[in-house]
Structure formats: C-alpha cells, structure tokens
C-alpha cells in the first residue's frame, strides 16, 4: 500500500482516497464524481492537508531509513 498523495475525504460515505482516484473513477463513469471505494456519489470531496503532510513525513522517514540500512550494509566487514 502506498501512502496517500493529495488525500481527500468523500463526505457522503466518509472514505479517504487520493484525489486522482476520484477523478479517474469519475472519468470512467462518464458522469458525476464517484467514490473509488464504494462507487457511491462523491459530490463533496474535502481536502485533507494534515493527512498529506503526515504521509509525506512517513515516506521521507522510510527513504531515510532505507538509506541508512544500505550505508550500514556497505560498512560491514566481509565475514570470512
């Protein structure tokens, strides 16, 4: 599962999804906005900037941890 990018809440059902997913589902349905989770109406989508900030911090920390792990592996003495 990937962190949310541009998360929104669909007011009618309460699902939290990426705005791009709402847009994609709506284009596929050729009509009004649709929730990608339940396919219900998504007339009101509310941006969630605090959740987006949290997700980006999480992604940054995962990338930093991965970099540290790779550095630690490269510094380990080869076992004989």
- Cβ proximity of 38 and 13 under 8 Å: yes
3-state secondary structure (DSSP) of residue 53: helix
In this prediction, residue 11 carries a pLDDT of 92
Per-residue model confidence as pLDDT tens digits over 12-66: 999 999 998 888 887 887 778 889 999 898 889 999 988 888 888 888 888 899 9
In this prediction, residue 33 carries a pLDDT of 87
Identify the residue whose tokens are 């009618």: 12
Provide the whole-model pTM.
0.64
Buried b (16+ CB within 10 A) or exposed e, 17-48: bbbebbeebbeeeeeebbbbbeeeebeebeeb
DSSP class of 13: T
Grade residue 2 by pLDDT with cuts at 50, 70 and 90: low
């Amino acid at each position: 599962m990937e962190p949310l990018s541009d998360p929104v809440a669909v007011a009618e059902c309460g699902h939290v999804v990426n705005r791009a997913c709402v847009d994609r589902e709506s284009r596929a349905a050729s009509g009004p906005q649709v929730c990608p989770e339940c396919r219900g109406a998504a007339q009101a989508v509310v941006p969630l900037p605090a959740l987006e900030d949290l997700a980006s911090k999480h992604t940054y920390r995962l990338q930093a941890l991965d970099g540290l792990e790779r550095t630690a592996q490269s510094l380990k003495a080869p076992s004989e």
